[in-house]
Protein backbone atom coordinates (compact mmCIF):
# COMPACT_ATOMS: atom_id res chain seq x y z
CA UNK A 1 0.00 0.00 0.00
CA UNK A 2 2.82 2.44 0.86
CA UNK A 3 4.55 1.63 -2.42
CA UNK A 4 1.35 2.41 -4.35
CA UNK A 5 0.90 5.70 -2.47
CA UNK A 6 4.51 6.62 -3.21
CA UNK A 7 4.02 5.92 -6.91
CA UNK A 8 0.84 8.00 -6.96
CA UNK A 9 2.68 10.86 -5.24
CA UNK A 10 5.57 10.68 -7.74
CA UNK A 11 3.15 10.56 -10.65
CA UNK A 12 1.33 13.55 -9.14
CA UNK A 13 4.56 15.50 -8.97
CA UNK A 14 5.25 14.63 -12.62
CA UNK A 15 1.72 15.71 -13.59
CA UNK A 16 2.14 19.03 -11.81
CA UNK A 17 5.43 19.72 -13.54
CA UNK A 18 4.02 18.65 -16.92
CA UNK A 19 1.08 21.02 -16.51
CA UNK A 20 3.38 23.87 -15.51
CA UNK A 21 5.68 23.25 -18.47
CA UNK A 22 2.88 22.80 -21.02
CA UNK A 23 0.94 25.85 -19.85
CA UNK A 24 4.05 28.01 -19.92
CA UNK A 25 4.97 26.84 -23.40
CA UNK A 26 1.47 27.45 -24.75
CA UNK A 27 1.26 30.90 -23.14
CA UNK A 28 4.66 31.79 -24.62
CA UNK A 29 3.42 30.81 -28.08
CA UNK A 30 -0.18 32.11 -28.00
CA UNK A 31 -0.05 34.87 -25.39
CA UNK A 32 -2.11 35.43 -22.27
CA UNK A 33 -5.18 37.14 -23.71
CA UNK A 34 -7.12 33.87 -23.26
CA UNK A 35 -6.46 30.96 -20.86
CA UNK A 36 -4.77 28.97 -23.65
CA UNK A 37 -2.38 27.17 -21.29
CA UNK A 38 -5.15 25.88 -19.07
CA UNK A 39 -7.24 24.93 -22.09
CA UNK A 40 -4.31 22.99 -23.56
CA UNK A 41 -3.75 21.08 -20.31
CA UNK A 42 -7.46 20.31 -19.93
CA UNK A 43 -7.97 19.17 -23.52
CA UNK A 44 -4.77 17.13 -23.63
CA UNK A 45 -5.70 15.73 -20.22
CA UNK A 46 -9.06 14.54 -21.55
CA UNK A 47 -7.33 12.83 -24.48
CA UNK A 48 -4.73 11.17 -22.25
CA UNK A 49 -7.37 10.07 -19.73
CA UNK A 50 -9.34 8.35 -22.48
CA UNK A 51 -6.20 6.75 -23.89
CA UNK A 52 -5.01 5.41 -20.53
CA UNK A 53 -8.50 4.21 -19.58
CA UNK A 54 -8.98 2.26 -22.78
CA UNK A 55 -5.44 0.89 -22.77
CA UNK A 56 -6.21 -0.64 -19.40
CA UNK A 57 -9.86 -1.54 -19.85
CA UNK A 58 -10.43 -3.86 -22.78
CA UNK A 59 -6.98 -4.27 -24.25
CA UNK A 60 -5.28 -4.81 -20.87
CA UNK A 61 -2.15 -3.03 -22.13
CA UNK A 62 -1.85 -1.49 -18.66
CA UNK A 63 -2.27 -3.31 -15.38
CA UNK A 64 -4.92 -1.96 -13.03
CA UNK A 65 -2.26 -0.65 -10.66
CA UNK A 66 -0.46 1.26 -13.43
CA UNK A 67 -3.74 2.75 -14.62
CA UNK A 68 -4.56 3.85 -11.07
CA UNK A 69 -1.16 5.51 -10.67
CA UNK A 70 -1.44 7.28 -14.03
CA UNK A 71 -5.06 8.39 -13.70
CA UNK A 72 -5.06 9.30 -10.01
CA UNK A 73 -1.50 10.54 -9.70
CA UNK A 74 -0.40 12.05 -12.99
CA UNK A 75 -3.79 13.02 -14.40
CA UNK A 76 -5.08 14.14 -11.00
CA UNK A 77 -2.28 16.68 -10.83
CA UNK A 78 -2.22 17.48 -14.55
CA UNK A 79 -5.96 18.24 -14.64
CA UNK A 80 -9.09 17.24 -12.79
CA UNK A 81 -11.09 18.53 -15.72
CA UNK A 82 -10.35 15.27 -17.54
CA UNK A 83 -12.05 13.29 -14.76
CA UNK A 84 -15.01 15.68 -14.83
CA UNK A 85 -15.39 15.20 -18.59
CA UNK A 86 -14.83 11.42 -18.37
CA UNK A 87 -17.53 11.01 -15.73
CA UNK A 88 -19.87 13.26 -17.73
CA UNK A 89 -19.14 11.11 -20.79
CA UNK A 90 -20.17 8.04 -18.81
CA UNK A 91 -23.50 9.67 -18.01
CA UNK A 92 -23.94 10.46 -21.72
CA UNK A 93 -23.10 6.89 -22.76
CA UNK A 94 -25.60 5.58 -20.19
CA UNK A 95 -28.25 7.92 -21.66
CA UNK A 96 -28.61 9.62 -18.29
CA UNK A 97 -29.17 13.02 -19.86
CA UNK A 98 -30.74 14.69 -16.84
CA UNK A 99 -27.83 13.58 -14.65
CA UNK A 100 -25.38 14.71 -17.34
CA UNK A 101 -26.78 18.23 -17.56
CA UNK A 102 -27.17 18.40 -13.78
CA UNK A 103 -23.51 17.43 -13.38
CA UNK A 104 -22.32 19.94 -15.98
CA UNK A 105 -24.44 22.74 -14.58
CA UNK A 106 -23.93 21.88 -10.93
CA UNK A 107 -20.15 21.76 -11.02
CA UNK A 108 -19.78 24.73 -13.34
CA UNK A 109 -22.18 27.07 -11.58
CA UNK A 110 -21.25 26.05 -8.05
CA UNK A 111 -17.60 26.17 -9.05
CA UNK A 112 -18.03 29.80 -10.04
CA UNK A 113 -19.99 30.52 -6.86
CA UNK A 114 -17.30 28.84 -4.73
CA UNK A 115 -14.57 30.79 -6.51
CA UNK A 116 -16.22 34.12 -5.80
CA UNK A 117 -17.07 33.12 -2.23
CA UNK A 118 -13.41 32.24 -1.69
CA UNK A 119 -12.30 35.51 -3.25
CA UNK A 120 -14.69 37.44 -1.01
CA UNK A 121 -13.55 35.59 2.11
CA UNK A 122 -9.92 36.07 1.11
CA UNK A 123 -10.48 39.82 0.89
CA UNK A 124 -11.87 39.86 4.43
CA UNK A 125 -8.94 37.96 5.93
Collapsed DSSP state (helix, strand, coil) of residue 1: coil
Nearest 5°: the CA angle 107, 73, 65 is 115
Q: Is 79 left (phi over 0), alpha (psi -120 to 50) or beta?
A: beta
Task: Establish whether 122 is an annotated binding residue.
Answer: no
Binding residues for Na(+): 76, 79
Binding residues: 76, 79
Amino acid sequence: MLEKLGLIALAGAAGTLARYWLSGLVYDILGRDFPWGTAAANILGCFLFGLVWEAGADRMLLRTEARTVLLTGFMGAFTTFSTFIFESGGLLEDHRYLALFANLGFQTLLGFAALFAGLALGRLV
